[in-house]
Chain A
Amino acid sequence: MAYGLNIEGVNSSFVFDSTIAGATAMPVIQGSTSVTSGNAYSGYTAGDLIFARPATGVNVISSDWTQTTPKADGNQEFILLRPSDTAGLATNQNGSTYGLQIFDADGTTVMYDSRHTSSGLDIKAGAGTGFPGGGAFSGGSFVPDTSSSNLLYTSANANTYVLMSTGYSRVMGFITVKIGYSFVNTNIYYIGYYHYSGFGSSGQGGLPSSSQMIIGDLVT
């Protein structure tokens, strides 16, 4: 590279590369915030990434993106990540007169600014597509499949969050569709299913993960 900043970790793992035109970091611009099921994620604006984890006493979480403002399904704690090149981001969250600032080739577009946040999301897993979802109706309610075929991550802790921007939760008459996650102890499972019950018939099926999922630990 003729100029810029390229940061790599062990095994040449990626940290940052300013030569990727248009690249922008995603700082945590809103720390852990509570949202109750059925309510909108407060502070969200288009372009943000929502990461969440279940509130105490909750296992399965999802999100409803069928309306302009996404809503939580299941009580959650969530954080918001916003692109560094967004105008108006605060520049006093981690010092204000010092730090590291990286610009794009135009010299004005901010790719990273260490003053944007005093928190970080340390990515732990980038789970791909192809997890099958599924489950079965049992005991009067639908029980999502939490077999090893849907296992995403085994080391979740109290600071582990998952990307909710790919979730889906909707009830259409007698059909329920849900794409989300189940937290069971330190394991995180992909959840994806449809279930219908009415007009004398019932059934269900799996919805394989069609978008990539990201899991990270919040550092504050």
Chain B
Amino acid sequence: MATTYETPIVYTQDAPSVPAGGTQAGQYPLYTFYGSNYLPSRTMYVKDGDTFKIPLSNADGGDGGGTQTSVNYAGTTNAADPDPAEANASQGGNQSNGSLWTHTVNASATPWNDNETKWYFFADSGARTVRVEVALIEISSFTGAANTVNQGSTLVFTLSGLTGLAAPVSGNGAANCLYVTIRDSSGNLVTTTGSSGITWSNAGSNGYIGKMQTTSLTNTLTVGASMSTGSYTCRLMHFGGAQNWVTNVDGTTTFSGGLVNNPFYGTANQLASFSFTVNATGTVSGLNLGANYNAGTSLSAVLERNSGTITCDPTTFQPTSSVSNQTGAANAKQRLGGTTNNFSTADLVLSNGQSVDFQMTGPAAYSSHTIGRLTIAEDHHDLRIDTGADPGSGGGTGGATSGAYGLKVTNSDGDQLFGTGFKSNVVILTDTRPALAHDSTETFTLPIDAADNTSSKVAIVIIDMFTTTSQYFINWPSWTITRSGNTFTVKNFSGNARPYKYVAIRI
């Protein structure tokens, strides 16, 4: 929201060592309202759309004052910086003591590319000078890690693309901060901390106000175990000077106290916000991925299992589901049960009665195992895939060919080409299909038992047959295969209709 600020009077100061007429360092002392505290190196912060008004005076500001009853504008550091509206075309100008020097910020205008402007003023032929520095705070995003958080859990807020904020000052934690605060659904500031309220990992002197700086762009909010459930908003603000600086917010001058114009958490200084819901904590039951799997001699077997229906207690509890690799390259992933979403390692937030599809990969070597884990709230289930010994690739020794029975076809060298101990590839179903529209599916029935319809026993190969010689046709194949019973379903998600051939190979 655009805000109009009017600061207290800025006074010129005595005894610069260099006469007026230039902008050399030290010639114009920086005017700060807070000394070494919140704004040690800036006069004020603003955001895009804000209007700021700064009264200048050569009268007594504590050092006796000067003789001239007006103040001269001496320009900016860089001629391209924005000047006050009251400056003349030559980057000069003069106004009587107490007059306002004003500007409205347009962040997309070139003069604000460096996110700051510095205005230089003098009086009494340069015997008294002062400069004001106004920094434009901009961000590209401010987000929370999730839209829901359970009581007793944490939520990480992340800021990116920050420009205009001065660097932290060693030994002064209050300097150059942005502030994050929490409001409830009625707009009230949450000031309770601890187990019934909030805790910030990087907090100000008041624990309910979190801080962010150029060197710390995340802040973790811990939601107390007994904090009230419901909707909340996290707001990100820049420091905004004292309350009476704010004279207008989005066209209104009616303020609801500090909630609007407090210098730390007032919405007049708000840069961004993120809404989230605090849910009740609880427990889950029903998680079961079934028995471990022996892939035999199939390497890199991909196994999919459903978690079973998850029951939450209380039913309003929304548990987080996550996956992890416990042993080997298990490549554990998940998706919401009953969907055809892509499997992902990203966390899911479940509701009572939902389930999770869990996917993992078996070892890429013989006589090995991988273990993947599915964790939902306080419960977890580990699933293990084992591979057997190398069956050998022929000859008279080792593996499955060493038995006293079986069938073996060899070539003239005695190398086995077919039979027991030799893993063949037998096409059991294939067809060339006409173009399948984008986001459409086709289902086919395999001539095998449902129990054999796994990736380690039947490879389903999709051969994309879309042909084009145009280099400007920018779609590419994106097929998904899902298995159910003794059927499999092919889905085209490439963005255009494509013919294809499927080959189901018993391996």
A binds B: yes
Note all chain B residues with C-beta closer than 8 A to A144. Answer: none
Q: Write out, one digit per residue, whether chain A residues 151-172 have a CB within 8 A of any chain B CB (1) or not (0).
A: 1111100000001011010111
The B374-419 residues at the A interface (CB cut-off 8 A) are: 388, 391, 393-394, 399-400, 406-407, 409, 411-413, 415-419
Cβ–Cβ contact B417 & A14, under 8 A: no
Tell me whether A120 and B422 are in contact (CB under 8 A). Answer: yes
Q: Are B460 and A10 in contact (CB under 8 A)?
A: no
Q: Smallest CB-CB separation from A166: which chain B residue?
A: B461
Interface size class of B (residues with CB under 8 A): 35 or more
Per the bound structure, the CA–CA distance linking A7 and B423 in Å amounts to 11
A87 — which chain B residues lie within 8 A by C-beta? none
Instruction: Report A50 CB to chain B, min CB distance, Å.
Output: 10
Contact A25 B479, beta carbon cutoff 8 Å:
no
**Considering the chains assembled together, what is the distance between the CA atoms of A211 and B456 in angstroms?**
13
- B412-437 at interface with A (beta carbon < 8 Å): 412-413, 415-430, 432
B450 at the interface (CB under 8 A from A): no
A212 adjacent to B409 (CB under 8 Å): no
Q: A182-219 CB contact bits vs B (8 Å, 1 = yes)?
A: 00000100000010000000000001101111111101
Stretch at the interface among A36-44, A52-60, A111-119: A111-119
Taking the complex as formed, is A126 at the interface, i.e. its CB lies under 8 A from any CB of chain B?
yes
Question: A77-103: which have CB < 8 Å to B?
Answer: 81, 83, 94-95, 99-100
Q: Does A23 have its Cβ within 8 Å of any Cβ on chain B?
A: yes
* B302, B406, B425, B456: the one within 8 Å of A130 (CB): B302
B423 pairs with A13, CB closer than 8 A: yes
Query: A84 to chain B: closest CB distance in Å?
Result: 9
Task: Tell me the bound Cα distance from A50 to B455 in angstroms.
Answer: 20
Q: Is the CB of A10 within 8 A of B400?
A: yes
Q: Is A149 an interface residue when CB atoms closer than 8 A count as contact?
A: yes
A65-B465, A94-B417, A166-B463 given; A122·B507 CB < 8 A: no
Cross-chain contact of B471 among A123, A172, A220 (Cβ < 8 A): A172
> Does A177 have its Cβ within 8 Å of any Cβ on chain B?
yes
**Nearest opposing residue in chain A for B477, CB measure:** A168
Task: Determine how close the nearest CB of chain A comes to the CB of B303; give it in whole angstroms.
Answer: 8
B472 touches A124 (CB 8 A): no
Given contacts A10-B421, A210-B462, contact A128 B467 (CB under 8 A): no
Pair A10/B388 contact, Cβ less than 8 Å? yes
Residue contact B417 to A207, C-beta cutoff 8 Å = no
| Residues of chain B within 8 A of A47, CB atoms compared | 430
CB of A127 within 8 A of chain B? yes
Residue of A23, A118, A120, A212 touching B455 (CB-CB under 8 A): A212
A122 with B409, Cβ < 8 A, contacts A14-B506, A66-B468, A117-B417 known: no
Q: Within 8 Å CB of B469, what residues of A?
A: 66-67
A99 CA to B411 CA, complexed, in Å = 10
Name B365's closest neighbour in chain A (CB-CB).
A154
| B 287-310 binary contact with A (CB < 8 Å = 1; else 0) | 000000010111111100000000
Within 8 Å CB of A8, what residues of B? 420
B430 contacts which chain A residues (CB < 8 A)? 47
Q: A126 and B472: CB pair below 8 A?
A: no
- Cβ–Cβ contact B394 & A219, under 8 A: yes
A122 close to B394 (CB less than 8 A): yes
Assess whether B252 is interfacial by the CB under 8 Å rule. Answer: no
| Docked CA distance A187–B472 (Å) | 35
Question: A128 to B300, Cβ gap below 8 A?
Answer: yes
Known contacts A118-B417, A168-B464; decide if A207 and B297 are in contact (CB<8 Å).
no
**A1 close to B (CB within 8 Å):** no
CB atoms of A149 and B329 under 8 A apart = yes
B447 within 8 A of partner (CB): yes
Q: B300 touching A152 by the CB < 8 A rule?
A: yes
Q: Are A120 and B416 in contact (CB under 8 A)?
A: yes
- The minimal Cβ–Cβ distance linking B313 to chain A, given in whole angstroms, is 32
Residue of A nearest to B403 (CB): A10
Question: Shortest CB–CB separation between residue A32 and chain B, in angstroms?
Answer: 15
Q: Decide if B415 touches A120 in the complex (CB within 8 Å).
A: yes
Check if A114 sits within 8 Å of B417, measured CB to CB.
yes
CB distance from B400 to the nearest CB of A (A): 4
Bound Cα distance A23, B429 (Å)? 7
Q: Are the CB atoms of A130 and B343 closer together than 8 Å?
A: yes
**Residues on A with beta carbons closer than 8 Å to the beta carbon of B417:** 94, 114, 117-120, 219
Expressed in whole angstroms, the Cα–Cα distance for A100 and B366 within the complex equals: 30
Given the known interface contacts A94-B412, A122-B423, A130-B359, the answer about A165 and B365 at a Cβ–Cβ threshold of 8 Å is no
Complex Cα spacing A163 to B472, Å: 28
Residues on the A chain within 8 Å of B473, using CB: 172
B480 within 8 A of A: yes
CB of A11 closer than 8 Å to a CB of B: yes
A62 in contact (CB, < 8 A): no
25 contacts between A and B (CB under 8 A): A7-B419, A8-B420, A9-B400, A10-B297, A10-B400, A11-B388, A13-B400, A15-B423, A23-B426, A25-B427, A26-B505, A46-B432, A49-B503, A99-B409, A117-B417, A120-B411, A121-B425, A122-B393, A122-B422, A153-B364, A155-B366, A165-B461, A194-B476, A214-B459, A217-B393
Q: Which residues of A does B touch, CB under 8 Å?
A: 7-11, 13-17, 20-26, 46-47, 49, 65-68, 81, 83, 94-95, 99-100, 112, 114, 117-131, 148-149, 151-155, 163, 165-166, 168, 170-173, 175, 177, 179, 187, 194, 207-208, 210-217, 219-220
Which 8 residue pairs spanning A and B have beta carbons closest together? A128-B302, A120-B417, A128-B455, A125-B299, A148-B329, A123-B423, A127-B300, A211-B462
Residues in B lying within 8 Å of A, measured CB to CB: 294, 296-302, 329, 331, 333, 342-343, 359, 361, 364-366, 388, 391, 393-394, 399-400, 406-407, 409, 411-413, 415-430, 432, 447-448, 452, 455-457, 459-469, 471-474, 476-481, 503, 505-507
Apart from A10-B297, A119-B417, A165-B463, what are 12 other A-B pairs with CB-CB below 8 Å?
Answer: A9-B420, A14-B506, A118-B412, A123-B507, A127-B361, A128-B302, A165-B503, A166-B464, A171-B471, A173-B474, A177-B476, A220-B413
